[in-house]
Amino acid sequence: MKKLPIGIQNFREIIEDNYIYIDKTEEAYQLVSNYKYVFLSRPRRFGKSLFVDTLKELFEGNKKLFEGLYIYDKWNWDEKYPVIKISWAGDLQTLESVKLVALDIFKLNQEILGIICDNTTDPGSCFRDLIRKTYKKYGKKVVILIDEYDKPILDVIENVEQAKVNRGFLRSLYSIIKDNDAYIRFAFLTGVSKFSKASIFSGLNMLTDISLNPKFGNICGYTQRDIETSFKDYFVDVDMEKVKRWYNGYNFLKDNVYNPFDILQFISNGFLFRNYWFETGTPSFLIKLIKERNYFLPKLTNLIVDDKILSSFDIENIDLEVILFQSGYLTIEKVIQTPRSIGYKLRIPNLEVQISLNDYILRYLFNHREANYIQNQSYDAFYNGDLDVIRDNLTTLFSSIPYTNYTNNELKLYEGFYASVVYSYLASLGFDLIGEDVTNKGRIDLTVFASDKVYIIEFKVDGVKSEALKQIKEKRYYEKYFNDNKEIYLVGIEFSSSEKNIVNFEWEKLER
């Protein structure tokens, strides 16, 4: 049984030490055969660094490492190219520290390539020297590989002014690539986010973005076939449907894929279902944006956007849905093509992200922490149709929200605030939900699916008593689910902005 490549991003080590390797050399071959300047965006810990290192070994002509892989009998191994590899790591909090890291990166490349830069104090001059002197020494065009190109920006994204400064430095540094086109064979940049061409990419307008090119949809991540073949010895007697629901579901216009980090951690931790990927990064910046913009959280279940996710966000005007997508908290469910435009329906990729993100939102946005036994009680209550328990637990939830969450804004007057709290609570329990569920009579505020039961929920704030349940009945929202052979429950929840809590909770089981 081959070993698990946990934390290993070095292609040579994986091959030589007999770790599992998912063959991505077909994508590598198509990439280097058809493009010169390429950009790829993927969420963190998705296998980008390993792919970059695979390209490095390929261009350096290390044939033996590729034996048995797709590219082995297709690549011209007599052609070898010098490689400059840039991978950002370390202190990137100030411009001075970013420059020092850059100089360290170029110093390492000088040592590997046997080059000495004329200017060792200015990163831009050193980078230019490195490219040209490498070309001259080896008599071959240079390959440039940049991993996590955006890390100096993302590390300070909450400090807008510093992020702008770091962005300006990177724009200047990366523009050197275009200025030295005659000396370059291939350049590949990868990162989490795509900033606009008007900002960081202004000097790299020749880049081809393959992030949402279906041909390269599986360039990172594990497919279901990978799990059932390369990992088959590990997945004996494992509930694969549950594994899919927890960790599969990322889509970049090809197959649904798993985040490799999740799968490797899941296996090494004895097949325990935990939020492995989510715990490696704290989305505090996203929570801050959600709070500042009073974002209507149920939208995350039924979200359609235009092709802006293909473009990017700017530091000065960050689009929350764009960064949620690029960071891996949302993924593509389907493409919506119209005669005039293209759009995308987005969704939360899997149960790990759904539960973890909403639990985080509850704790840091609404200051709510709940014991596991209460969460289990709520979960069981939905499966058993015991809505009195749900009423009591939701009332307790709203009682726990600090008074300061209601002051200095008008949130308490809007159904959206209360709907967002209830949505996050139920999503954190792992239920399938649809916010603003469309019917031919209007929109259901929230639909909850629990085994053989469907819950149609309507919210009202400071309204007439029983108005919420009455609206469900009058508009016959439940008809949408008549043919699903499920028990249907109608739930009206009414809030008081003065009491900041539920003042009326009514429900009926639909008899047919």
pLDDT tens track for 328-347: 999 999 999 888 888 999 99
C-alpha span between 339 and 343 (Å, rounded)? 11
High-pLDDT (> 90) share of the chain, % = 76
What's the mean pLDDT in 407-420? 65
The three-point CA angle 367-371-372 to 5° equals: 125
C-alpha span between 211 and 310 (Å, rounded)? 8
Helix (H, G, I), strand (E, B) or coil at 262: helix
Q: 38-52, 200-214, 234-248: lowest mean pLDDT where?
A: 200-214
Is the Cβ–Cβ distance between 160 and 132 less than 8 Å?
no
How many Å separate Cα 360 from the centre of its chain? 15
Query: Which phi and psi angles does 146 have, rounded to 5°?
Result: -120, 115
Contacts of 138 (CB under 8 A, 6+ apart): 81, 82
At 463, is the pLDDT very low, low, confident or very high (cuts 50, 70, 90)?
confident
Residue showing tokens 């009514």: 506
CB count in 10 Å sphere of residue 384: 12
Please give the domain boundaries of the chain with CATH numbers for all domains.
Answer: 11-216 (3.40.50), 222-280 (no CATH), 284-509 (no CATH)
C-alpha span between 491 and 447 (Å, rounded)? 10
Contacts of 186 (CB under 8 A, 6+ apart): 32, 35, 36, 37, 38, 59, 81, 143, 144
Is the Cβ–Cβ distance between 429 and 377 less than 8 Å?
no
Is the Cβ–Cβ distance between 230 and 18 less than 8 Å?
no
Is the Cβ–Cβ distance between 90 and 102 less than 8 Å?
no
Q: What amino acid occupies position 245? A: R
Res 412: pLDDT: 46
At 318, is the pLDDT very low, low, confident or very high (cuts 50, 70, 90)?
confident
Is the Cβ–Cβ distance between 2 and 18 less than 8 Å?
yes
Q: What amino acid occupies position 386? A: D
Say whether pLDDT at 410 is over 90. Answer: no
The candidate with the shortest Cα–Cα distance to 30, out of 184, 183, 218, is 218
Is the Cβ–Cβ distance between 505 and 391 less than 8 Å?
yes
Helix (H, G, I), strand (E, B) or coil at 123: helix
Tell the burial category of 100 from Cβ atoms under 10 Å away from its Cβ (0-12, 13-18, 19+).
middle
Q: pTM for the whole thing?
A: 0.93
Is the Cβ–Cβ distance between 18 and 3 less than 8 Å?
yes
Q: 131-145, 191-205, 370-384, 458-472: lowest mean pLDDT where?
A: 191-205
C-alpha span between 460 and 445 (Å, rounded)? 10
C-alpha span between 396 and 191 (Å, rounded)? 42
Res 274: pLDDT: 96
CA distances from 169 to 94, 152, 275 (A): 11, 10, 36
C-alpha span between 103 and 98 (Å, rounded)? 9
Q: What amino acid occupies position 147? A: D
Helix (H, G, I), strand (E, B) or coil at 142: strand
Contacts of 107 (CB under 8 A, 6+ apart): 120
Average pLDDT, the chain: 92
Say whether pLDDT at 85 is over 80. Answer: yes
Residue showing tokens 């579901």: 249
At 257, is the pLDDT very low, low, confident or very high (cuts 50, 70, 90)?
very high
Query: Which phi and psi angles does 262 have, rounded to 5°?
Result: -60, -50
Q: 69-78, 279-288, 448-457: lowest mean pLDDT where?
A: 279-288
The per-residue b/e assignment along 413-428, b for 16 or more CB within 10 angstroms, e otherwise, is ebbbbbbbbbbbbbbb
At 403, is the pLDDT very low, low, confident or very high (cuts 50, 70, 90)?
low
Residue showing tokens 């990439």: 31
E strand intervals along 152-225: 184-191, 208-209, 222-223
Tell the burial category of 451 from Cβ atoms under 10 Å away from its Cβ (0-12, 13-18, 19+).
exposed
Res 492: pLDDT: 97
User: Can you spell out the DSSP letters for 58-72?
Assistant: HHTT-GGGGTTSTTT
The candidate with the shortest Cα–Cα distance to 27, out of 209, 215, 175, is 215
